Chains A and B, each alone.
Chain A
Amino acid sequence: MEIVYEYVKKRSEFGRPCNFSDRASDLHLDIQPDAELAACFFSLDSRDVGMQCAADMSENEVNTVRIESESRGINHTEGGWPNNVNPQEIEHTMRFRKKVEKDENYIKAILKLGIQMEHSIKQNNAIDIYQEYFGEGEEEEEEMADAKEQPAAKTINVFRDPNEVKRTASSLSWHPDGNHKLAVAYSSLEFQRASKSMNFDSYIWDIENRNWPDLTLKPVSPLVSLEYNPKDSHILLGGSYNGQIAYWDTRKGGQPVEMSAIEHSHRDPAYKVIWLQSKTGTDAFSTSTDGQVLWWDIRNMNEPTERLVLDPSKKENLDNALTAVCLEFETTMPTKFMVGTEQGLVISCNRKAKTPAEKIVCTYSSHQGPIYALQRNPFFPKYFLTVADWTARIWSEDIKESSIMSTTFDMTYLMDGCWSPVRPAVFFTAKKDGTVDVWDFLFKQNDPTLTVKVCDEALCSLRVQSNGRLLACGSHVGTATLLEISPGLYTLQRNEKALANEMFERETRREKILEGRLREMRLKERSRSEPGKEEEAQDLEGEESPEELIARAEKDFFQIVEAEMKKWKNETEKQKGKDVSEQKKC
C-alpha cells in the first residue's frame, strides 16, 4: 500500500512570490487499527528504561608520538666566533679580543671573579683537603662495624632443575679458579624411585645465569657425586648411580671422555669421588656402599689401580665389609685418608701400607647413623668434622673413643656439612628440613650462630666456595641455592687461628683425661670383679638355679649403673673444673 500525495505546480508559475494563506486541514489518509494485528501484541504495563540527563560524550584515546631521544656528545672545538671574524686569521681574532677587553662589563666581571678565584687558590694552597688524618682509626671503625653486624645470609641465586621429573641435587662442586661455575650432580637417591622418564643429565651452572645451564653432562647413569679437578679446571670426575666412574672434559662437550669398565667398578652407587694429589694430576679415588675404596688413574679407566675392602676384621671379606658413604682426603696429608661409613664409623686409613690388612689404621665411632660428611679442618688438619644423624662432631685424630666437641642433638637429620675455608672455627651444616646452620664454635657452641631456612624440601648437599663468601646448597627437588653470608662470618678475626687452636687443644686434653680416667676405672673394676669371676666360674660348673641367675644378673646390672654414675660425676666435675679454669683464663 503506497501513500502518495502529488503536489503540482505549473512551470509558468515558478519564481512567483509565495502567498501563504490559512485553510482547514485536509484528511488524506486514515489508517484504522487492525484488530487482527492487535492480537499479535500485548501491552506491557511498565517498563524499565534507563534515562540519563547528561550530555552525550564519547571516549577517545590520544597519545602523542614518542620522541626518541638519544644522548650524543658534541665536539666543540672552536668557540662561536661572530660572522665577521675569521678564526683562522690571527689579525681578526686579535682585533676582536682587543675589542672585548675594552668593554666595561669585561673589566667589572674580571675584577669580581678575580677576587673569588684568589680566595679559592689560597684555600688550595693552605690545606690539602685529601690528607688522611685518621688512617688507622678507619680500620678499627670498619672492624667494629663488622662485629656489631648481625650475621645474615642472603640468597643470591637459585638454580632449578629444568626437567619435569625433579631429581635430588646430590652433589655440588665449585670451579677451582674463578669460582664462577658450579657443577651440580643430579640423581634420585631414593631406592627404586627413579622413574623411567627421569633425565640422567647433570649440569654445570654459571652463577650469573640461572635460566639455563652452562654445560650439560650426559652420563650413562645419573651422577651421584661430581668433583672438579683442582689442578685442571676443565676436568670433572663423576661417580654414577650404577657404580661407574666417568670423567668429562668441558672443552670436549657433554659426553664423558671415558668411563670405567663396569666389571671393575663399584656395585653400588659411587657416593664419593675425590681427586688425589699427584704429579700427573690424574689420580682419584672413589668409594661406595659396596664396601670398597678404589683408586683410579683417569688415563686408564679399564680397571682401578688399587682396591681396598673396608673389612674391619682385615680379611678382605666383601660380605663383612663396612659400607662407605663418604671419603676424605687432604692434600697436606697425602698418605692418610678417611672413610665415613653407613654404620657410623669413621675409618682412618694409610695409603702407603704394604698389605691391605695394614691399610686400616683405626676407627672412630660415636655416631648412630651414616656419616654424610667428613672433612678435615683446613687450618688444623689434625681435627676433622663429621656430620651424621642429628649432630655434627669435631674429632681429634688422637682420641679414638669419642669426639672432642659436638653440637647439640638437632630436631632434624643433618645431611651435609663443611668447614669454612677462611675461618678455622666456622662450619656449615645442611639439614633435612631445608635449613642451613652456620656454627661459629669460638663464639657460641650451644646453638648455631646463624640459621637460614633455604627451602621447604630437604637439603642434600652443601659446598662453600673457596673465598668463604658464597655457599651453594642443593635440595631434594634439584634446586641449587646460592647464599651469600655476611662479612662477619668470612673475615678472619685477629687472633682467631690461635684461639681456635687453643680451643681444640683444650678439648682434646679434656677428652684424653676422661679417657684415661675411664681406663683406670675399668681396670679397677676388672681387678675387683676378677676374684668374683673365679667364684662364678666355680658356680657355673655346678648347676645354676634361676634365682642365682637372677641374683647374678642383678649384681652385674647394679655394678654397671654405679660405674656409669661415677663416670658421669667425674665428667661433670672435670667440666666444672675446666670451666672455672677457662673463666680464669678469660
Chain B
Amino acid sequence: MAEVEETLKRIQTHKGVIGIIVVNAEGIPIRTTLDNSTTVQYAAQLHQLTMLSRSAVREIDPQNDLTFLRIRSKKHEIMVAPEKDFLLVVIQNPSE
C-alpha cells in the first residue's frame, strides 16, 4: 500500500506532469490528482479509447497486445498504461 503511494507520488513530482488518474475496468476513477469533472471526462474518454486501441491491435495480430498508448496534442501529452483491470493515465506537458 505504501509502495503504491510512493510510486504515485514519485510520478507526480516528475517535471511537466500535470495530473494522474487511476481508472478501473468499469471506467470509474479510483485515484486522481485533478478535479472531479476533469477526471470523470478523462476517465470516460480514455477508457473507451483504450478499449478501441486494444481491439485494433489484437485484430490485426491476435498474438499482439496493447502495452502503452500516447496521445500527443497541442497542449500536452496524455499517456495511458493499460493493465488487465486498471488504467494509469498521466497528463504531462513535454519539454518545450
Q: Which B residues are CB-close (under 8 A) to A110?
A: 4, 7-8, 22, 86, 88
Q: What range describes how many residues of B lie at the interface?
A: 35 or more
Quick one: closest B residue to A124, CB to CB?
Answer: B94
Q: Does A52 contact B (CB under 8 A)?
A: no
Q: Which B residues are CB-close (under 8 A) to A124?
A: 16, 77, 92, 94-95
- How many angstroms from the CA of A541 to the CA of B44 in the assembled complex? 118
- A100-B30, A121-B79 in contact; A114/B48 too (CB < 8 A)? no
Q: Which A residues are CB-close (under 8 A) to B84?
A: 105, 109
Q: Which A residues are CB-close (under 8 A) to B45?
A: 76
- A79-B43, A106-B30 in contact; A113/B94 too (CB < 8 A)? no
Least Cβ distance of A110 to chain B in Å?
Answer: 5
Q: A117 touching B30 by the CB < 8 A rule? A: no
- A97-B31, A120-B70 in contact; A107/B10 too (CB < 8 A)? no
Quick one: closest A residue to B20, CB to CB?
Answer: A117
User: A68-92, CB under 8 A of B: which get 1 and which 0?
Assistant: 0000001011111110000000000
Q: Which B residues are CB-close (under 8 A) to A127?
A: 95
Question: In chain A between 445 and 492, which residues have their CB closer than 8 angstroms to a CB of chain B?
Answer: none
- A76-B27, A101-B31 in contact; A117/B79 too (CB < 8 A)? yes
Question: In chain B between 66 and 96, which residues have their CB closer than 8 angstroms to a CB of chain A?
Answer: 67-68, 70, 77, 79, 81, 83-86, 88, 90, 92, 94-96
Least Cβ distance of B36 to chain A in Å?
Answer: 10
Q: B14 touching A79 by the CB < 8 A rule? A: no
Q: Does B1 contact A (CB under 8 A)?
A: yes
Q: B27 touching A125 by the CB < 8 A rule? A: no
Q: Which A residues are CB-close (under 8 A) to B85?
A: 105-106, 109
Q: Which B residues are CB-close (under 8 A) to A97?
A: 30-31
- Interface residue count on the A side (C-beta < 8 Å): 33
Quick one: closest A residue to B27, CB to CB?
Answer: A79
- A81-B28, A120-B68 in contact; A125/B94 too (CB < 8 A)? yes
- How many angstroms from the CA of A106 to the CA of B83 in the assembled complex? 10
Contact for A116 among B8, B31, B81, B86, CB less than 8 A: B81
Quick one: closest A residue to B17, CB to CB?
Answer: A121
Q: Does A6 contact B (CB under 8 A)?
A: no
User: B42-77, CB under 8 A of A: which get 1 and which 0?
Assistant: 011101100000000000000000011010000001
Q: Does A112 contact B (CB under 8 A)?
A: yes
Q: Does B3 contact A (CB under 8 A)?
A: yes
- How many angstroms from the CA of A506 to the CA of B48 in the assembled complex? 71
User: A228-249, CB under 8 A of B: which get 1 and which 0?
Assistant: 0000000000000000000000
Q: Which A residues are CB-close (under 8 A) to B17?
A: 121
Q: Which B residues are CB-close (under 8 A) to A118?
A: 10-11, 14
Least Cβ distance of A151 to chain B in Å?
Answer: 39
Contact for B30 among A80, A101, A120, A122, CB less than 8 A: A101
Q: A78 touching B44 by the CB < 8 A rule? A: yes
- A107-B1, A114-B88 in contact; A120/B79 too (CB < 8 A)? yes
Least Cβ distance of B27 to chain A in Å?
Answer: 4
Q: Does B26 contact A (CB under 8 A)?
A: yes
Contact for B4 among A76, A81, A111, CB less than 8 A: A111
- Could you tell me the dominant secondary structure of chain A's interface residues? helix
Least Cβ distance of B17 to chain A in Å?
Answer: 6
Q: Which B residues are CB-close (under 8 A) to A121?
A: 11, 14, 16-17, 79, 90, 92
Q: Does A140 contact B (CB under 8 A)?
A: no
- How many angstroms from the CA of A102 to the CA of B23 in the assembled complex? 15
Q: Which B residues are CB-close (under 8 A) to A125?
A: 14-16, 94-95
Least Cβ distance of B49 to chain A in Å?
Answer: 11
Q: Chain B CB within 10 Å — which of A74, A77, A81, A109 has the most?
A: A109
Q: Does A128 contact B (CB under 8 A)?
A: yes
Quick one: closest B residue to A74, CB to CB?
Answer: B48
Q: Chain A CB within 10 Å — which of B23, B70, B83 has the most?
A: B83
- How many angstroms from the CA of A269 to the CA of B20 in the assembled complex? 80
Q: B48 touching A76 by the CB < 8 A rule? A: yes
Q: A128 touching B96 by the CB < 8 A rule? A: yes
- A106-B86, A121-B14, A125-B14 in contact; A81/B81 too (CB < 8 A)? no
- How many angstroms from the CA of A82 to the CA of B27 in the assembled complex? 11
Q: A77 touching B83 by the CB < 8 A rule? A: no
Least Cβ distance of B5 to chain A in Å?
Answer: 10
Q: A117 touching B88 by the CB < 8 A rule? A: yes
- How many angstroms from the CA of A96 to the CA of B16 in the assembled complex? 31
Contact for A117 among B11, B40, B94, CB less than 8 A: B11
Least Cβ distance of B53 to chain A in Å?
Answer: 15
Q: Which A residues are CB-close (under 8 A) to B31?
A: 97, 101
- How many angstroms from the CA of A116 to the CA of B22 in the assembled complex? 14
- How many angstroms from the CA of A118 to the CA of B88 in the assembled complex? 11
Contact for B94 among A100, A109, A128, CB less than 8 A: A128
- How many angstroms from the CA of A111 to the CA of B6 in the assembled complex? 10
18 additional A-B pairs beyond A76-B27, A124-B95, beta carbons within 8 Å, are A76-B47, A76-B48, A77-B44, A80-B27, A102-B1, A105-B84, A109-B83, A109-B84, A110-B88, A111-B3, A113-B83, A113-B86, A116-B68, A118-B10, A120-B90, A121-B92, A125-B94, A127-B95
14 contacts between A and B (CB under 8 A): A76-B44, A76-B48, A79-B27, A79-B28, A97-B31, A100-B30, A105-B84, A105-B86, A107-B3, A109-B88, A110-B7, A110-B88, A114-B7, A125-B14
